[in-house]
Amino acid sequence: MAIVIDQLAAKRLAFGVVRGQAAVTAVAALVGFALGGAHVALSAALGGAIGTVASLGMALMAFGGKSPSPARILGAFYAGEVVKVALAIVSFILVLKLTGAAPLPMFAAYMATFVVYWIVLARKALPALAATRRARA
């Protein structure tokens, strides 16, 4: 039996992750400002932005095209993951070399965006997968 994926729901989920990451980035920057001032806030904002932009790149790669064949969808997801990792690595290098960002708040905010990614997937994707399995049973 073939597994059917609701592409519109998957697209909403992916861009919902990006929105959640952007919100967490804003909160991290505000907390950074309250705890350590403008430099810490900027560092946190840059770290969160790296995670958010990387996820946005992945979402755009995965869902940017029309509804192609299953093989092309899978290829787009793999390409999106490569873009996500490449964007994160290049962004970290550029931010650390060019801005003088404080590494601890930058990496802490990046990790917060990473946690958002997993929480959203666990809360949205896993129940949908379980419902699909129940429907097939």
Give the start-to-end residue ranges of the domains of the chain.
9-136
Are 21 and 52 in contact by the 8 Å Cβ rule? The answer is: yes
**pLDDT < 50 positions in the chain:** none
Are 11 and 30 in contact by the 8 Å Cβ rule? The answer is: no
Own/partner long-range contacts of 72-75 (Cβ < 8 Å, ≥24 apart): 73/5, 73/7
pTM: 0.83
Determine the pLDDT at residue 22. Answer: 97
* Rounded CA separation 40/103 (Å): 9
Determine the pLDDT at residue 78. Answer: 87
Q: Which two tokens stand for residue 19?
A: 């929105």
Number of CB atoms found within 10 A of residue 71's CB:
8
